[in-house]
């Protein structure tokens, strides 16, 4: 295999792994992370995934004590009764 083919394969593998990781990860955005992302984007031209809208949404969810579960973390037996039971158990500890 020649050098050009090896480089092309390496670039293709690198790009595919980046794309595979880009979707399922949900960043835990805070106002500080959003500000850093905006500053980086303004100076360098590339910022992070946190923006003001995402930070506000995540802050509201944390304030309302809403769990932000991804598709892999969701449970079918996560009923209101189970949530109350878990909350009571955590309150006694």
Question: What pLDDT tens digit does each residue of the chain (93 aa) get?
Answer: 688 888 888 887 776 665 555 555 566 888 998 999 999 999 988 888 888 888 888 888 888 876 655 555 555 556 677 777 777 877 876
Range of the domain at 37: 28-67
- CA dist., res. 51 & res. 59, Å (int): 12
The answer to whether position 90 is within a domain reads: no
The answer to whether position 84 is within a domain reads: no
The answer to whether position 35 is within a domain reads: yes
Backbone angles phi, psi at 91, to 5 degrees: -70, -30
Domain count, the chain: 1
Backbone angles phi, psi at 75, to 5 degrees: -115, 145
The answer to whether position 76 is within a domain reads: no
- What's the pTM value of the predicted model, to 2 decimals? 0.44
Whole-number Cα distances in Å, 46 to 15, 40, 41? 17, 6, 5
């Amino acid at each position: 295999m020649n050098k050009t083919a090896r480089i092309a394969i390496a670039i293709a593998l690198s790009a595919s792994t980046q794309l595979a990781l880009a979707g399922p990860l949900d960043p835990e955005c805070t106002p500080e992370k959003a500000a850093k992302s905006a500053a980086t984007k303004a100076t360098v031209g590339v910022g992070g995934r946190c923006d003001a809208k995402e930070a506000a949404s995540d802050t509201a969810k944390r304030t309302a004590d809403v769990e932000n579960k991804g598709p892999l973390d969701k449970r079918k037996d996560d009923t209101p009764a189970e949530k109350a039971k878990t909350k009571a158990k955590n309150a006694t500890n």
